[in-house]
Amino acid sequence: MAKVGRPKSDNPKADKFSFRLNSHTVQILDEYCKANNVSRSEAIRIGVEALATGKVSASSNIRREERSMPDFLL
């Protein structure tokens, strides 16, 4: 009997995360998503990849409230 349903992904996304954001951060995220036509999940994956590859750094010298979207992501 043939398999039914969607084919298996080469890179399954099985891990789920839940976290809270303030309204300013959500606004930045939503503006980025709209401008780049990506989902919130994809935008977060792009951000994590940028941190991991050194394209951006999470500077501890800047208070969290003062951080904004890096220019290369806009």
pLDDT of 65 higher than 60: no
pTM equals 0.66
Q: In angstroms, rounded to a whole number, what is the distance separating the alpha carbons of residues 57 and 12?
A: 27
Q: What are phi and psi of 4, to 5 degrees?
A: -115, 145
The backbone region for 73, taken as left when phi is positive above 0, alpha when psi lies in -120 to 50, beta otherwise, is alpha
pLDDT at 40 (0 to 100): 97
Per-residue pLDDT reduced to its tens digit, 5-61: 888 888 888 899 999 999 999 999 999 999 999 999 999 999 999 999 988 887 745
Q: Provide the residue count of the chain.
A: 74
Q: Strand, helix or coil at 47?
A: helix
Between CA 33 and CA 14 the distance in angstroms is: 22
